[in-house]
Amino acid sequence: MKFITNTLKEAKIMDNQMAQNLPLTEPRSNSNTMRIVPQWFGNENGVKHPFWVIVQKEISDHVRSWRFIILIAIIALTCIGSMYTALANIGHAMKASDVQNSFFFLKLFTVSDGTMPSFFVFISFLGPLLGISLGFDAINSEHNRGTLSRVLAQPIHRDYLINAKFTGALFVISVMFFALGFLVMGLGLITIGIPPTAEEFWRIVFFILLSIFYVAFWLNLSILFSVRFRQPATAALAGIAIWLFLTVFYPLIVSLIMKALAPSQMEMASPLQMLHLDELRITLMRILPNQLFSDATTTLLMPTVRSLGPLTMEQVYGTIPGPLPLGQSLLIVWPQVTGLVAATITCFVLSYVSFMKKEIRSR
């Protein structure tokens, strides 16, 4: 905290210049006009912008914390275990008539023998824990230690703090997921000796970006709880409770609802009635962030998936089986991606508004 306070004091000169609207300009070569020097990353004297000072401090705190080291070790070990299972069973998964033979490299992320889940299933299960662990004490811990009022007493804007908290944690998550994804690609390339095609590479990149948005939702939710609850333990329990409810109990509730709505004799139900029930079940399940993530990643990593909903015989008739191009797969998953991004932005806006109205003085 002394580091960030001293650095923010050094940045006071830059903020005073910005408050007094003093233009920092330099002459453009061969011209009499003036050019404004960008101030966001710092001034020409080498003083960093206060926002990036806080971001650097948050990244350092996350990387050096034991909880992050433990979680990244668990995720790395499970991902390596799932990749080992995929490499051991990838030969059995390939068939001579398989239309996915042209997407051989993607099977590293999807193949499983049943003893251990695949790579993207592990990300779907352990990603929320990572997001919750990085954000449940983002604000309330600073408030309890009395450092929140000390930081905001410096010449910085109030929203710099919560924006930097989210940016620092999101940067750490992004670096970790890209490192894990490229690690799987590198080990797979060394093991099987077949390089990925350009389309396979971009499908994996889009999968990593989607995983980052998925974990960012849980990160923003935990930051919201850290703003609303004074004790970090309460915020952590609230985040874990929401995760358990959406992962375990909500699908059970949907199953009970569908069982109550289903006809007593399934043999007597018409195809149209069964289609409506299936569409209702899919709609209720798509409220879940993990269901949106699962649908999107399945379509991106399995190019033969042509629809995420029920299809009638009229729709299937005349369809030529084959993998979809990347653009068509993105069009299929665009509603899921939009819903996941919208949920992430909503949680961030709620935490932002709550923090801007929060009393920061320690009692």
Q: What is the tens place of the pLDDT at every residue in 93-112?
A: 565 445 445 677 788 888 77
Whether 32 and 181 have beta carbons less than 8 Å apart is answered as no
Q: How far apart are CA 245 and CA 7, in angstroms?
A: 43
**Closest by alpha carbon to 134, among 221, 229, 245, 244?**
221
Q: Which helix (H) or strand (E) holds 343?
A: helix 326-356
Please say whether the beta carbons of 139 and 162 come within 8 A. Answer: yes
Global pTM value: 0.81
70-92 residue pLDDT tens:
888 888 888 778 777 777 776 66
* Interatomic CA distance for residues 103 and 198, integer angstroms: 11
Q: Per this entry, what is the length of the chain?
A: 363
| 9: pLDDT strictly greater than 80 | no
Q: 3-state DSSP call for residue 174? A: helix
CA 185, CA 138: separation in Å to the nearest integer?
A: 33
Question: Which 8-state DSSP code applies to residue 264?
Answer: S
> Average pLDDT in the 38-52 region?
64
pLDDT digits (tens, 9 = 90+) for 167-190: 999 999 999 999 888 888 888 888
Where residue 322 falls (left for φ over 0; alpha for ψ -120 to 50; beta otherwise) is left
